[in-house]
A and B are shown apart, each in its own frame.
Chain A
Amino acid sequence: MKPVRMQLAASALVFAMAFPALGRAGDLDSPSTGRGALNAKVEYCTYCHGPSGRGYRGFYTMPRLAGQTPEYLENQLRAFAELRRDRSIPVRMSRVHALKPSMRAALAAHFNGLNPPVVGRGSSEHAGTGRKIYEEGVPETNVPACVACHGPTGMGAGPSPRLAGQLSAYTQKQLLGWSRDRGQDPATVDSSAVMKSIAGSMSKTQVQAVSAYLNSLK
């Protein structure tokens, strides 16, 4: 724990007044999983994932967390920690997502309960094609209907993530580079393996269409 210097304490006080929900992690008097620690960690998440976890386009596109299924969120936090989803960009995901295990469920429940506006332009010219792929799949290339696992409105269920309202650039990057990001520990097969061959069977045009459609879902 770092000593809090006078100047820092003064500026912290100013910020505490300006942003009451903010708090610096590691407050001396708050337990590691108390409300203060959770609020501080939520704030940390939103630095990258955008206000209310709506997603954010920085140098890298950060996915929407809001409304995501708790099971999927917890699975991903575990995947980061266990190096199954660690090195797809030069920022180690295991480090930026380092959390006490007890914090995972609380964060997952928090972001599941949020419903901010969608980031993106919503429907586009490709969204009609995307909807058809989403609902019917592409039988000739063995792409199953997405709707079967992700639900009729893309809300997901359990380990199958919500896709509705996801940033199009994020969905595209995932589908076009599934194995670069997911399943990085060959010794531990996780639920991401289900999507590996499906993503690999989709053309770039199909991925763009589906991603546009999903972004348009609220």
Chain B
Amino acid sequence: MKLIPPALAILAIVSASAAAFATDDRGRSPGQVLSDNNCTWCHGPSLQGYTTAPRLAGQRAEYVVNQILNFKAHSRDNPLSKQVMWGAANTVTPEAAHEISDYFSGLHAEPANDGNRSTVETGAALYREGSAGSNIPSCAICHGPDGQGVGAIPRLGGLSYRYLKRKLEQWNEGYHAAALAPMPAVSSSLSATEIDAISSYLSFVH
């Protein structure tokens, strides 16, 4: 289990003290308190993700808010969402969702590096330029050249291979059909090999 690097701890203290909200006696923002008490159990102490729970550190705030609302509305409906996140998000108010998301988005994100290195080159090419002949669009156009995301469009760079692969597969199995367009449809243009390659590549991006 990773320790929080000192620079990150300082950053957290600085950003917490700069927040408009009152901090607790340990200098933690309301978002961090909520996260420490609820999210870190599965997503890891520094929110870098753990096994099937995705990394939240560095994720786009608007995207995280939308996902919390999706869990609450039960539109994000894959088995683990149902089992874990529906309950976890059930009592989260919109204000708390924003506080948590702002806290996540300010944290440094580390790449999971858990993909298959042999498919990285194929994955990088697909991510960057898609494959016009097979009507696979460029991921980079919306998610950014380094998978950094923007606004409601999530950061993908460095998310775990395991998480990305399952997400793309589950869309093709019919889960979370109401995700922000165009995504569920785009995943249907990808073969199993292509999903594997793109997920591998992204897991190494930082």
Contact B145 A44 (CB under 8 A): no
Contact B134 A2 (CB under 8 A): yes
Contact A14 B174 (CB under 8 A): yes
Contact B188 A58 (CB under 8 A): no
With a cutoff of 8 Å between Cβ atoms, the chain A residues found around residue B134 in the complex are 2, 24-26
Contact B129 A95 (CB under 8 A): yes
Minimum Cβ distance to chain A for residue B97 (Å): 22
A92 interfacial by beta-carbon distance below 8 Å: yes
Contact B142 A59 (CB under 8 A): yes
A57 interfacial by beta-carbon distance below 8 Å: yes
B149 interfacial by beta-carbon distance below 8 Å: yes
Indicate with 1 or 0, residue by residue over B125-143, a CB within 8 angstroms of chain A CB atoms: 0001110111101101111
With a cutoff of 8 Å between Cβ atoms, the chain A residues found around residue B137 in the complex are 44, 47-48, 96
Contact B192 A8 (CB under 8 A): yes
Indicate with 1 or 0, residue by residue over A5-17, a CB within 8 angstroms of chain B CB atoms: 1011001101100
Please measure, in the bound complex, the distance between the C-alpha atom of A5 and the C-alpha atom of B195, giving whole angstroms. Answer: 14
Please measure, in the bound complex, the distance between the C-alpha atom of A11 and the C-alpha atom of B182, giving whole angstroms. Answer: 17
Question: Given contacts A2-B191, A47-B186, A48-B141, are A91 and B129 in contact (CB under 8 A)?
Answer: yes
Given A22, A41, A60, A99, which contacts B188 in the complex, CB threshold below 8 Å?
A22
Minimum Cβ distance to chain A for residue B195 (Å): 10
B205 interfacial by beta-carbon distance below 8 Å: no
With a cutoff of 8 Å between Cβ atoms, the chain A residues found around residue B13 in the complex are none
List CB contacts (< 8 Å) of A20-58 with chain B.
22, 24-26, 40-41, 43-44, 46-48, 51, 56-58
Question: Given contacts A47-B182, A90-B145, are A59 and B153 in contact (CB under 8 A)?
Answer: yes
- How many chain B residues sit at the interface, stated as a range, is 20 to 34
A97 interfacial by beta-carbon distance below 8 Å: yes
Contact A47 B143 (CB under 8 A): no
A18 interfacial by beta-carbon distance below 8 Å: yes
Please measure, in the bound complex, the distance between the C-alpha atom of A48 and the C-alpha atom of B135, giving whole angstroms. Answer: 11
With a cutoff of 8 Å between Cβ atoms, the chain A residues found around residue B42 in the complex are none
Please measure, in the bound complex, the distance between the C-alpha atom of A46 and the C-alpha atom of B135, giving whole angstroms. Answer: 11
Contact B191 A58 (CB under 8 A): no
Minimum Cβ distance to chain A for residue B51 (Å): 24
Given A18, A24, A97, which contacts B189 in the complex, CB threshold below 8 Å?
A24
Most chain A CB inside 10 Å of its own CB: which residue of B141, B144, B172, B186: B141
With a cutoff of 8 Å between Cβ atoms, the chain A residues found around residue B141 in the complex are 48, 58-60, 62, 91, 96
List CB contacts (< 8 Å) of A133-175 with chain B.
none
With a cutoff of 8 Å between Cβ atoms, the chain B residues found around residue A195 in the complex are none
Please measure, in the bound complex, the distance between the C-alpha atom of A14 and the C-alpha atom of B140, giving whole angstroms. Answer: 27
List CB contacts (< 8 Å) of B149-188 with chain A.
149-151, 153, 172-174, 177, 181-182, 185-186, 188
Please measure, in the bound complex, the distance between the C-alpha atom of A58 and the C-alpha atom of B137, giving whole angstroms. Answer: 13
Given A18, A24, A51, which contacts B177 in the complex, CB threshold below 8 Å?
A18
Contact B140 A90 (CB under 8 A): yes
A194 interfacial by beta-carbon distance below 8 Å: no
B48 interfacial by beta-carbon distance below 8 Å: no
A187 interfacial by beta-carbon distance below 8 Å: no
Please measure, in the bound complex, the distance between the C-alpha atom of A158 and the C-alpha atom of B83, giving whole angstroms. Answer: 57
Most chain B CB inside 10 Å of its own CB: which residue of A15, A56, A58, A60: A58
Contact B135 A91 (CB under 8 A): no
Besides the contacts A95-B132, A96-B129, what 5 more A-B pairs have beta carbons closer than 8 Å? A11-B188, A24-B189, A59-B141, A59-B145, A59-B150
20 A-B pairs within 8 Å (CB atoms) are namely A2-B191, A8-B191, A8-B192, A15-B172, A15-B185, A18-B177, A19-B185, A24-B134, A43-B185, A47-B182, A48-B141, A57-B151, A58-B142, A59-B140, A59-B141, A59-B143, A59-B144, A90-B128, A96-B129, A96-B141
Shortest 3 CB-CB contacts between residues of A and residues of B: A58-B142, A59-B144, A44-B135
